[in-house]
Structure 1
Amino acid sequence: MAGPLSAWPWENLGIFKYVLYGPLLGKVLYTRIQEGSFKDDWCLHILIICSARALLHQLWSSFVSMLFLTRNRRINRRGYDFNQIDKEWDWDNFILLQALIASISCYVYPPFIDNVPLWNTKGFITILTLHAGISEPLYYFVHRRFHKGYLFTHYHSIHHSSPVLHPYTGATATFLEHLALSTVIGIPIIGSHMMGYGSRSMIYGYLLVFDFLRCLGHSNVEVVPHQLFDTLPFLRYLLYTPTYHSLHHTDMDTNFCLFMPLFDAIWKTLNEKSWELHKKLSSNAGKYSKTVPDFVFLAHVVDVTSSMHVPFVIRSYASLPYTTRLLMIVCWPVAFIVMLMMWVWSKTFLISFYNLRGRLHETWSVPRFGFQYFLPFAKDGINNQIEQAILRADRLGVKIISLAALNKNEALNGGGTLFVNKHPNLRVRVVHGNTLTAAVILNEIPKDVEEVFLTGATSKLGRAIALYLCRRRVRVLMLTLSVERFEKIQKEAPLEYQSYLVQVTKYQAARSCKTWIVGKWTTPREQCWAPKGTHFHQFVVPPILSFRRDCTYGDLAAMSLPDDVQGLGNCEYTMERGVVHACHAGGVVHLLEGWTHHEVGALDVDRIDLVWNAALKHGLKPVSNSTKLKSM
């Protein structure tokens, strides 16, 4: 049973908790509109401070999640999984709580902020003295009490349940704990004002520095250079480090301080490994990481808005399947500017990772957007970036690099053959994963289907699907204008099955076929030729619009990862949690099976069932993403 004051009063309000800021905002707008000035400007200051504190935490979260910058500085190398992200979802509750406390205080005693100057040097000296003399030891003793018996079990254990530290971890605690922390924060501010040394800049500065140091300690990224402590040894007792605080979460009987290890030293709770481990991690921060992934999935961005669907933008947003949200549209100009900067930088970057059976799987991204892949003049530049990513993986000792949809486009690089032919001595295996993609699509098609309509019929996937289905004696209507390419594929089929492959040149030919396999983008007008009740299977990027309400649509081919995957905390584009595109899963299977061949170019139809069975054997599960829509 939860302890008293462990739950937040607005816990059941969800996103509507932000309505509690309404009275403050209403007062600001009222005084501005009715009186033409900010008479009761303490309301405005509270809102500004809350916004600044939230932004500070967000910036720290973004920095921590920029794995391409911080991977060599990470203390705990595990990833943030979905359970931790959900647990820390309402991390900003403490900001709302302290805003309410501040608003009540200012309402009861308006001169608290109305009659204070902008700057007071004595105030900064006073607040530092009160912090070091009262807040630090008070926090130390309260913190130790929360580590004992009932208080730990019913309150503080929630904070320690996060396996990997994150700036939001420091903000995640029970209501009672944050009431105590608010007292710790409030004493120096109130004390300075009571002595007549208060100032507005002091309030802003103290709160933001307080939050900055809390985020620093919970960042899981060592950014404090050990040379600082080597030069000025006494500083190690005045400022903690991320390494120092991380030891508190692995050895909970040590390192209880707020920001100053001095009090741990005084009361003999200082972890003896603190300085040595900090120096070791700080020394290795600038060196190249010795942790080499076994598998890399080389992704790409689809459009400007979806480029923000990454952990280092908004972690909670990336942990859900991609959808276009209003906030993302507002941030579109910023994302566009970053896109231009990425084009200039032109380097792949690490965006996420997870562990599967002791093997590290990373996702790198090529800084190119979907529309660029269809610009003739961009072809060489994109191929060069993909090639550099492959060579980098080869140098690191990566075993498998799997190419996402557009990175293996046939017109771009022949499904990866360009790189394999150019570099015949590659140790890393290049995999397009299309064999498993074909297997997923084919296993979604009911066994009793006698006829299918196939667009993108002469692509790598279209060819393999057509050849596989004709062997099952399924009549395949292959939409293509090229007689030559159709006949080439038809001749690959055994003689007795060639008659099941039929070339068609117009969508009207499918007016009686209820099974469509879409490999080329199909407009709503073209979809109108499908009869009522048609199901659209698809392997086209981006997916076609769900235009027909009397039909059903399948999403892109996908599989869910095995249950023992660890550290996975972001969704892959529109996929659900724990689900990846089939080409990604195909690379995983390639690694788990220990296959040593490249999977590039044309698909080997004879391997489709082999790869499918291997995926099931390793715990990958097929995902049915069909969306059944109501009939008209």
Structure 2
Amino acid sequence: MRDGEKLLIVALTVWRIVHGQIWISVSRYLTAKGAKRIVNKSIEFDQVDRERTWDDQVIFYSLGFYLAKLFHSLHHTQFRTNYALFMPMYDYIYGTNDKSSDSLYETSLEQEEEKPDAIHLTHLTSLDSIYHFRLAFSSLSSHPLSSRCYLILMRPLTIIISFILTSFSSRTFVFERNRFRDLTIHSHLLPKFSSHYKSQQQKESINKMIETAILEADKKDVRVMSLGLLNQGEELNGYGEMYVRKHPKLKIRIVDGSSLAAAVVVHSIPVDTREVMVLREEEHSMIAGFIGGHCKENLVLTTNYSPMIWLVGDRLSKEDQKKARKGTLFIPFSQFPPSKLLKDCFYHTTPAMIIPDSAQNIDSCENWLGRRVMSAWRVGGIVHALEGWEEHECGLEVPMANPPRVWEAATTRKQRVLFEMVSNHWFCRL
């Protein structure tokens, strides 16, 4: 075989992979939007695990992907019809074609885009995170975010995709759809990386995208929007308060989720703990303002590093960690997890909760969190929508009574939706 023929085979193979992934991503995007959905069934982690072993290469051969997918979908609901995927003429020859194929196709085209009850707005974190979202590789999104060796080999392609996504996309878009009882929850992506939020040049464009997303959701009568990760930064928009002040007639409620995050942090502290250390004065003041009550007395701003329980934020340095005693438990109150430097210490997950079994269409992990675990900021928006609260929950003037109220709403069975604390087995010891 000549070298040119070998290169042609490699080129065709790569094209098949890219072509197939494009159709997969488009299909998942339409499913997340709720538009032209064929089968109204949820996808869970067990299905994702099963499909990892399937030979899905057949989808790479057809440009008529959507029509073929619709035709074959009836086989999975009727079982004795529409066996073929891309060659339906055999079903017509042998009489196994489903007579409702054409009507299903027409109905799906007329289906309007689904209106969510609540939206969670997040953003990209690291370069490799573009592959971790549900629209990309389900084999990656179904596990906590971590580096993979083969992703390093894909770094040139990653940089190209990242440049195109962040430079030419000026709007947020939906990438995930979940159900909680009667509520439909969408997750939207702001196409910027964490590094962009540190740039003053990007601040205006990021705020513009967030503001546009809020106003568009408000026009669609979405009830709640929660701001995830750095979309609620104090320097960026005052924890979301900027949008509320600029648009006082908003019907949609903005939630930064800090109340529930604070409650989760407090309940993550082991029982009978007498002393909890905070490293910096501004962090001590912020946490003390949220927890209030007698718990504030046990919150110590110290420099002797003797307490065994540390509440840590994004500014935790390697030098700080090296001063911790053996067996120290680090409990982050920040959006991002600390670097895990010490092998003889414990690291708690970032503020998060286990979602109830009744939640549907849960088939991907939220960043570095485990399966069926959501960040407290995201859960805060869901609870706000479930409770039907009419006030905003964002900014520096959040009432002090909010953490207990949100905690009670999240952990009681009043709504028959019970979020649980992430148990001790989520402590990570290196």
Question: TM-score under structure 2 normalisation?
Answer: 0.88
Residue of structure 1 equivalent to 2:108: 281
Change (3 A) 1:297 1:254: same
Higher relative helix content: 1
For residues 40-439 of structure 1, the aligned pairs below 5 Å read 56-67=19-30, 71-92=34-55, 168=56, 212-213=61-62, 222=66, 224=67, 241-257=68-84, 259-282=86-109, 284=110, 289-342=112-165, 343-439=167-263
Aligned amino acid, residue 420 of structure 1: V
Aligned amino acid, residue 612 of structure 1: W
Residue of structure 2 equivalent to 1:115: none
Change (3 A) 1:470 1:533: farther
Alpha-carbon shift at residue 586 of structure 1 (Å): 0.9
SS in 2 for 1:542: coil
Distance 1:465 1:406 in 2: 22
Distance 1:392 1:332 in 2: 35
Change (3 A) 1:524 1:42: same
* 2:427 corresponds to 1:626: yes
Mean CA deviation greater in 407-416 or 442-451: 442-451
Distance 2:158 2:91 in 1: 44
* 2:411 corresponds to 1:616: yes
Structure with higher Rg: it is 1
Alpha-carbon shift at residue 578 of structure 1 (Å): 0.6
Residue of structure 2 equivalent to 1:26: none
Root mean square deviation of aligned Cα? 2.9
Alpha-carbon shift at residue 557 of structure 1 (Å): 0.7
Alpha-carbon shift at residue 590 of structure 1 (Å): 1.0
Change (3 A) 1:211 1:446: closer
Distance 2:33 2:309 in 1: 48
Alpha-carbon shift at residue 429 of structure 1 (Å): 0.8
Distance 1:248 1:242 in 2: 10
* 2:338 corresponds to 1:559: no
For residues 494-513 of structure 1, the aligned pairs below 5 Å read 509-513=303-307
Alpha-carbon shift at residue 448 of structure 1 (Å): 2.0
Distance 1:374 1:50 in 2: 39
Structure 2 gaps, min length 5: none
Change (3 A) 1:456 1:245: farther
Structure 1 gaps, min length 5: 1-36, 93-167, 172-207, 225-240, 479-503
Distance 1:259 1:375 in 2: 49
Distance 2:85 2:290 in 1: 67
SS in 2 for 1:411: helix
Distance 2:404 2:33 in 1: 41
* 2:277 corresponds to 1:453: yes
Change (3 A) 1:525 1:381: same
Aligned amino acid, residue 444 of structure 1: S
Change (3 A) 1:89 1:260: closer
Aligned amino acid, residue 212 of structure 1: Y
Change (3 A) 1:589 1:456: farther
Alpha-carbon shift at residue 473 of structure 1 (Å): 5.5
Distance 1:524 1:256 in 2: 59
Alpha-carbon shift at residue 573 of structure 1 (Å): 0.3
Residue of structure 1 equivalent to 2:334: 540
Change (3 A) 1:257 1:537: closer
Distance 2:85 2:52 in 1: 23
Distance 2:36 2:14 in 1: 29
SS in 2 for 1:73: coil
Distance 1:402 1:389 in 2: 11
SS in 1 for 2:264: helix
Alpha-carbon shift at residue 554 of structure 1 (Å): 1.1
Q: Is the 8 A contact 1:521 1:540 kept in 2?
A: no
Distance 2:285 2:428 in 1: 23
Residue of structure 2 equivalent to 1:589: 383
Q: Is the 8 A contact 1:456 1:520 kept in 2?
A: no
Aligned amino acid, residue 39 of structure 2: N
Change (3 A) 1:335 1:346: farther
Question: TM-score under structure 1 normalisation?
Answer: 0.61
Distance 1:457 1:270 in 2: 71
Residue of structure 2 equivalent to 1:99: none
> What is the aligned-residue identity percentage?
31
* 2:269 corresponds to 1:468: no
Distance 1:404 1:540 in 2: 12
Aligned amino acid, residue 201 of structure 2: F
Distance 2:337 2:296 in 1: 28
